[in-house]
Amino acid sequence: MNLTGNERVLDFGCGGGGCAKIIARTLWPQGYVTCVDTSKYWLNKAKKRLCKFSNVGFLFADVSRLGIPEGFYDVVSIHFVLHDIERPKRSETVKILADKLKEGGRLVIKERIGKKHGMQAEEIEKLAKLAHLRREWRQIGKSLYHGPFYKGCFVK
């Protein structure tokens, strides 16, 4: 994510807080990470994992009801979440998240692109383009645990 340490980061679909922990360490002590999830179970797991960090906040909410002003975040992170959103809601979700970014802010996506579980790289890039984001870079790879994946950074 190329964080400098003083950014505000939104971790969308934070799950158990694995990525948020790495982000919080990187941002300590000046930056801040907001963990968002629609699952109380996973948000509670994240709270337990991140209880020692004072630079982390938690929101249990649907993205359309976050109550966060537009242009608030430097970075939005989406890590293996977008493919789980119903296809008709994906575009609106990415648009809302893009709106939360400051001008010049970055949306960083890592997503499965497997045929059985995931989405196509072209769809990810189309969603970003529809949200008026410009692709800065992308990587297609494969991991033993997750299989084929897409990783990309888009700029507002």
Q: Give pLDDT tens digits for 83-94.
A: 999 999 999 999
- What value does the mean pLDDT take over residues 29-48? 96
DSSP letter assigned to residue 113: B
Please tell me the predicted confidence (pLDDT) of residue 2. Answer: 87
Please tell me the predicted confidence (pLDDT) of residue 116. Answer: 78
Q: Percent of the chain, pLDDT > 70?
A: 100
Upper half-sphere CA count for residue 93 (Cβ side, 13 Å) = 20
Whether residue 114 is predicted with pLDDT greater than 90 in this model: the reply is: no
DSSP letter assigned to residue 59: E
Which domains are present in the chain? 8-155 (3.40.50.150)
Residue at token pair 């976050």: 66
Please give the mean pLDDT across all residues of the chain: 95
Strand partners, 47: none
Please tell me the predicted confidence (pLDDT) of residue 67. Answer: 87
For 120-156, what is each residue's pLDDT tens digit? 999 999 999 999 999 999 999 998 888 899 999 999 9
